[in-house]
């Protein structure tokens, strides 16, 4: 039987996109929090990054997919106003070396 771990983390888009001036610190803290939360015995890890509001910037969504790809092969697309086509999602999967991308409802 496989073991699954789901890590849920609320994120602040304004702190990630540089509006507060501490984006690098916030990103590194987010990465460290995820790393420290990992259970090494889990076979499947899902990381659900939950923004306060749907994300409006494509580069920010891609950055969060890349971050998840550092820890897992299955990424969860954060809630966003951006409409991704299947072809775009396949390109992102290949680029970030992710096996699949799920869509968050949060």
Q: How confident is the model at residue 97 (pLDDT cuts 50, 70, 90)?
A: very high
Total domains present in the chain:
1
Instruction: Indicate yes or no: pTM above 0.85.
Output: yes
pLDDT at 105: 82
Domain housing 38: 4-103
Spell 29-66 as b/e; 16+ CB within 10 A means b: ebeeebeeeeeeeeeebbbbbebeeebeeeebbebbbe
Average pLDDT, whole number, for the chain? 94
Q: Is 72 a residue whose pLDDT tops 90?
A: yes
CA-CA distance, 85 to 88, in Å (whole number)? 5
Q: Mapping DSSP to helix (H, G, I), strand (E, B) and coil, where does residue 8 land?
A: strand
CA-CA distance, 101 to 40, in Å (whole number)? 22
pLDDT at 51: 95
């Amino acid at each position: 039987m496989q073991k699954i771990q789901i890590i849920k983390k609320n994120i602040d888009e304004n702190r990630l996109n540089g509006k507060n001036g501490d984006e690098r610190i916030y990103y590194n803290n987010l990465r460290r929090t995820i790393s420290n939360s990992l259970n090494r015995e889990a076979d499947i890890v899902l990381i659900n990054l939950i923004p306060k509001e749907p994300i409006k910037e494509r580069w920010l969504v891609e950055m969060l997919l890349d971050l998840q790809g550092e820890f897992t092969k299955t990424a969860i697309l954060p809630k966003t106003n951006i409409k991704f086509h299947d072809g775009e999602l396949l390109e992102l999967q290949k680029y970030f070396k992710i096996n699949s991308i799920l869509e968050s409802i949060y």
